[in-house]
Amino acid sequence: MQKDVIIAGVGGQGILSIAASIGLAAVAENLRLKQSEVHGMSQRGGAVQSNLRISDREISSDLIPLGSADLIISVEPMESLRYLPWLSENGWLITNTTPVKNITNYPDLEEIMAEIRSLNNHIIIEADRIAREIGSPRSSNMVMLGAAAPFLDIGFENLEEAVRELFRKKGNDIIEFNLKALKAGKDIASEEISK
Amino acid sequence: MKNLMLLGDEAVAKAGMDAGISGIYAYPGTPSTEIMEYVQTSGQASDGGIFCQWSANEKTAMEAALGMSFTGKRAMVCMKHVGLNVAADPFMNSAVTGINGGLILVVADDPSMHSSQNEQDSRYYGKFAMIPVIEPSNQQEAYDMVFHGFELSEKYRLPVMLRLTTRLSHSRSSVKPENALSQKELSLPEDPRQFVLLPAIARKRYKYLLSVQDALEKESEDSPYNTITEGTDKSVGFIACGLAYNYLMEVMVREGLDHPVLKVTQYPLPGILIGKITGDCDSVIVLEEGYPFLEEMLRGFPVTDKRIRGRLDGTLPRDGELNPDHVAKAIGITVKEGPAVPAVIKNRPPSFCAGCGHIDMFNALLEAIDDFGPGRVFSDIGCYTLGALEPFNAINSCVDMGASVTMAKGAADAGLHPSVCVIGDSTFTHSGMTGLLDAVNDKSSITVLIGDNSTTGMTGGQKSSATGRIESICAGIGVLPERIRVIEPLRKNHSRNVEIIKEELEYKGVSVVIARRECIQVATKSRKQEKKHK
Ligand SMILES: Cc1ncc(C[n+]2csc(CCOP(=O)(O)OP(=O)(O)O)c2C)c(N)n1
């Protein structure tokens, strides 16, 4: 088993919480893991990504080779397309719909969505709306993680446990909201896949 | 012991503590910052009384670490690659004094310049100083080699350089830790003059350094970290240094290739191992993260060995960090890319945070300087360097830390008036203060605009050396008290701030304007903390 995942977003959106949850769950399943992160200049509102590789064998490279990512998870629509050259033939792209318009020349959102829809394997999730609906607007990243769950080959209960671990210090209410968000994301993705 | 999921930086930090360091010194700089941060937030450091405070700059950090080594204790000092330029003087001379307690200098290089002005390769500094360099290829090695490095350091009584590159510094993987060693007892150098580099002593010390070179090379030959893996296809062999080894393995395993490979993670270079692989194979591809350090030596000058391939003959890109795709292409394997990036996608460079005080500072400066015309604002390195980008286009230089003050001085000495510099508070104390003293002494007409957000913002909000003391430092250096102005960069103060800056631009002499408002990131973080404690 090996999964290569690119997690994309804009500096400040907290994509590392997604990476960290998958990481914890992978460790619980005794899988090996390499997770490269962006620290530094780009964290100031620039494009950021994390290359996450999980496997039952030894992983050599910290970076995912071109054309071999099984999954791109993006918390921002334009950013989801930036890493297409890394996506494998049968790979999936899962993206949130809320744009971060911190540049003056942000493209027309419809054009971006059209590009996403033109891909064979894609899931578009209104993660911010869903997070608001369950009463936890800040849990949109966990909605995205939930949406990625069916593709990860990791037991869902281990992802839930990872979320508990990650938010342990923040108290039970926050944990419950994030678990709800995780479940909501998973349900939508499962529905989309079976379509 | 339980495995830990650690960044390369964190693995080095954890290993330092487990190897019994008594202190760690550093100035922040991507990609090295997380080493010190890990120690500072670990219970192990506070329990063990491990000293772990930020220094004013890399030079002071290096010297303090050498001072700790003088007492017989183990010490670590960390910086980014360009930081070693700042620390180069104590660094070069520490190879001549040698050490007492083990000393590891960790330098994190940034090939591809993700967050840097250049991509200089610190291995040259290691060779320059003639000390051992270790260059782990993965997180576990980063951990293990710290122990190995301290042993080498104490065996030869020399500092050891541990070189990291961005991708290892900032990539996480599982690390198996060892039992922690206890710290060393205080014990002064046996020879009381070891550290006194008067010429007569320095010559002796230098001869010692020269005399151990063969032994250091032998250490590299025998090191468990420099290994040859045999292969049946000798049409090409590989020498892979540090992290590059992983990219090679990625491709070789995937493609089922079987070539001889020499992995190099300890320097000085192991001549016998290298001779073996270059002798055995028809050609050799050299994979190095950084400059073609080894490749250039093997090719000879003028080029004598054309069988050596790498960055210099176009087999690999001449600049930038390596990746598995570059390595695959170098071997002649076609890389099958996914879909192209659609044309609608725009670049997203970093930008000021919403609500950042630097925005209001630049708006005020731009209006104040409008009458004088463009091209006279020297600046420096920090978040405020983003003032170079649209829509501000507010600064005309960013060279090295502190250079804004001295470049403005040079331009003023040449007759440019007004001549302005924009510098952050941490950069000012790092190396802007000395330049200000030059300007005061020479009565150079410069306006120093200090963007004082009371933190080291660009690297993630570390403690800034002189928070709350910037005015008194400037006054102490000799800036006239009435020429030290403090403004609060807020939109509501805009016209008043423009006026003040204008007055100082017009003044002939040294003036300082401190634009003070707390970094929005730090302010938000401390507000959250406060809420938690209530
Ligand atoms: C010699 C050297 N050391 C460290 C760095 C890394 N570095 C870049 S900007 C910066 C912090 C600047 O802080 P400050 O001057 O307070 O400005 P701010 O980012 O807070 O606006 C650091 C440490 C560097 N580029 N060069």
Q: What is the CATH number of the domain that holds A182?
A: 3.40.920.10
CA geometry: angle B177, B147, B90, nearest 5 deg: 130
| Contact indicator for B278, B308 with CB cutoff of 8 Å | yes
Handedness of CA A66, A67, A73, A78 (dihedral sign): positive
Beta strands in chain A (DSSP E): 2-10, 32-36, 47-55, 69-74, 87-96, 122-125
In chain B, what are the domain boundaries? 4-211, 227-298, 357-524
Q: Which of A10, A40, A119 sits opposite B114 (nearest CB)?
A: A40
- Location of structure tokens 């060892």: B178
Atom in ligand 1 nearest the alpha carbon of residue B425: 16
What tokens appear for B384 in the block? 């405020």
Is the beta carbon of B381 within 6 A of some atom in ligand 1?
yes
Q: State which residue of chain A sits closest to B139, comparing Cα positions.
A: A34
- List CB contacts (< 8 A) between B337 and chain A: 66-67, 85
Which one, of B187, B110, B105, B197, lies nearest residue B146 by Cα? B105
Contact A61 B250 (CB under 8 A): yes
- List CB contacts (< 8 A) between A103 and chain B: 346-349, 351
The per-residue b/e assignment along B233-251, b for 16 or more CB within 10 angstroms, e otherwise, is eeebbbbbbbbbbbbbbbb
Phi, psi of A48 (to 5 degrees): -130, 155
- Location of structure tokens 């700042």: B86
CATH of B4-211, one of 3.40.50.300, 3.30.420.40, 3.40.50.800, 3.40.50.970: 3.40.50.970
CA distance linking residue B38 with residue B24, whole number of Å: 11
Question: So what's the pLDDT on residue B403?
Answer: 98
Q: How many domains does chain A have?
A: 1
Give nearest CA residue, ligand 1 atom 4.
B29
Give nearest CA residue, ligand 1 atom 13.
B456
- Location of structure tokens 């964290």: A43
Is the beta carbon of B384 within 6 A of some atom in ligand 1?
yes
Is the beta carbon of B455 within 6 A of some atom in ligand 1?
yes
- List CB contacts (< 8 A) between A119 and chain B: 339
* Helix, strand, coil percentages, rounded to 5, for chain B: 45, 15, 40
What tokens appear for B451 in the block? 């963007």
Which helix (H) or strand (E) is A184 found in, with range?
helix A172-194
| Contact indicator for A189, A147 with CB cutoff of 8 Å | yes
- Location of structure tokens 């006279």: B376
Which one, of B10, B30, B26, B28, lies nearest residue B18 by Cα? B10
Question: So what's the pLDDT on residue B534?
Answer: 65
Start-to-end CA distance of chain B, whole Å, equals 37
Handedness of CA B56, B77, A12, A170 (dihedral sign): negative
The residues that bridge with A9 in the sheet, in sequence order, are A48
What tokens appear for B494 in the block? 């805009």
CA distance linking residue B146 with residue B417, whole number of Å: 52
Contacts of B151 (CB under 8 A, 6+ apart): B102
Question: So what's the pLDDT on residue A41?
Answer: 77
Side-chain half-sphere exposure of B184, counting CA atoms within 13 A: 22
**With left for phi above 0 and alpha for psi between -120 and 50, is residue B508 left, alpha or beta?**
beta
The residues that bridge with B379 in the sheet, in sequence order, are B422
What tokens appear for A78 in the block? 């334009």
Query: What confidence tens digit (pLDDT) does each residue in A50-103 have?
Result: 999 999 999 999 999 999 999 999 999 999 999 999 999 999 999 999 999 999
Structural domain including A40 reads 2-194
Atom in ligand 1 nearest the alpha carbon of residue B86: 1
Cis peptide before B31 (omega within 30 of 0): yes
CA distance linking residue B521 with residue B330, whole number of Å: 43
Contact B114 A42 (CB under 8 A): yes
| pLDDT, tens digit only, all 534 positions of chain B | 789 999 999 999 999 999 999 999 999 999 999 999 999 999 999 999 999 999 999 999 999 999 999 999 999 999 999 999 999 999 999 999 999 999 999 999 999 999 999 999 999 999 999 999 999 999 999 999 999 999 999 999 999 999 999 999 999 999 999 999 999 999 999 999 999 999 999 999 999 999 999 999 999 999 999 999 999 999 999 999 999 999 999 999 999 999 999 999 999 999 999 999 999 999 999 999 999 999 999 999 999 999 999 999 999 999 999 999 999 999 999 999 999 999 999 999 999 999 999 999 999 999 999 999 889 999 999 999 999 998 999 999 999 999 999 999 999 999 999 999 999 999 999 999 999 999 999 999 999 999 999 999 999 999 999 999 999 999 999 999 999 999 999 999 999 999 999 999 999 999 999 999 999 999 998 888 887 776
Contact B350 A46 (CB under 8 A): yes
What tokens appear for B366 in the block? 């731009």
Cis peptide before B339 (omega within 30 of 0): no
Contact B344 A107 (CB under 8 A): yes
Give nearest CA residue, ligand 1 atom 12.
B382
Question: So what's the pLDDT on residue A44?
Answer: 84
Q: What is the A132 CA–ligand 1 centroid distance (Å)?
A: 38
Give nearest CA residue, ligand 1 atom 22.
B29
Contact B341 A85 (CB under 8 A): yes
| Contact indicator for B346, A107 with CB cutoff of 8 Å | yes
List, as one string, the DSSP characters of B421-476: EEEEHHHIIIIIHHHHHHHHHHT---EEEEEE-SSBTTTT-BPPTTTT-HHHHHHH
CA distance linking residue B175 with residue B374, whole number of Å: 53
**With left for phi above 0 and alpha for psi between -120 and 50, is residue B199 left, alpha or beta?**
alpha
CATH of B357-524, one of 3.40.50.1980, 3.40.50.150, 3.30.1490.100, 3.40.50.970: 3.40.50.970
Question: So what's the pLDDT on residue B515?
Answer: 98
| Contact indicator for B110, B80 with CB cutoff of 8 Å | yes
Q: How far is the CA of A82 from the CAs of A75, A77, A113, B167, B343, in angstroms?
A: 12, 10, 13, 20, 10
| Number of Cβ pairs < 8 A linking chain A and chain B | 158
CA distance linking residue A136 with residue B236, whole number of Å: 57
List, as one string, the DSSP characters of B481-520: GGGEEEE---GGGHHHHHHHHHHHHHSSS-EEEEEE---H
CA distance linking residue B21 with residue B181, whole number of Å: 9
Is the beta carbon of B424 within 6 A of some atom in ligand 1?
yes
Contact A86 B338 (CB under 8 A): yes
Is the beta carbon of B86 within 6 A of some atom in ligand 1?
yes
The count of other CB atoms within 10 Å of the CB of residue B128 is 13
CA distance linking residue A194 with residue B12, whole number of Å: 46
| Contact indicator for B184, A52 with CB cutoff of 8 Å | no
SS3 at position B39: helix
| Contact indicator for B421, B408 with CB cutoff of 8 Å | yes
| Contact indicator for B504, B365 with CB cutoff of 8 Å | no
CA distance linking residue B150 with residue B154, whole number of Å: 6
SS3 at position A80: helix
Q: What is the B29 CA–ligand 1 centroid distance (Å)?
A: 7
CA distance linking residue A90 with residue A93, whole number of Å: 10
Phi, psi of B447 (to 5 degrees): -110, 120
- List CB contacts (< 8 A) between B352 and chain A: 44-45
Which one, of B465, B462, B452, B428, lies nearest residue B360 by Cα? B452
CA distance linking residue B512 with residue B484, whole number of Å: 5
Of B85, B426, B516, B519, the residue with max ligand 1 atoms within 8 A of its CB, to mutate for a pocket test, comes to B426
Task: Output DSSP code: residue B178.
Answer: P
What tokens appear for B481 in the block? 């008290």
Output the 3-class SS for B372-388: HCCCCEEECCCHHHHHH
The residues that bridge with B424 in the sheet, in sequence order, are B451
Contact A36 B167 (CB under 8 A): yes
- List CB contacts (< 8 A) between A81 and chain B: 341-342, 344-345
**Could you tell me which CATH number the domain at B227-298 has?**
3.40.50.920
Nearest-Cα distance to chain B for A94, in Å, is 15
Of B62, B77, B381, B433, the residue with max ligand 1 atoms within 8 A of its CB, to mutate for a pocket test, comes to B381
Q: How far is the CA of B45 from the CAs of B13, B20, B23, B30, in angstroms?
A: 10, 10, 9, 22
Cis peptide before A137 (omega within 30 of 0): no
Of B448, B458, B463, B521, the residue with max ligand 1 atoms within 8 A of its CB, to mutate for a pocket test, comes to B458
- Location of structure tokens 């590392």: A16
Q: Are strands B447-452 and B511-516 parallel, antiparallel or unpaired?
A: parallel
Which one, of A179, A158, A144, lies nearest residue A27 by Cα? A158
CA distance linking residue B21 with residue B45, whole number of Å: 10
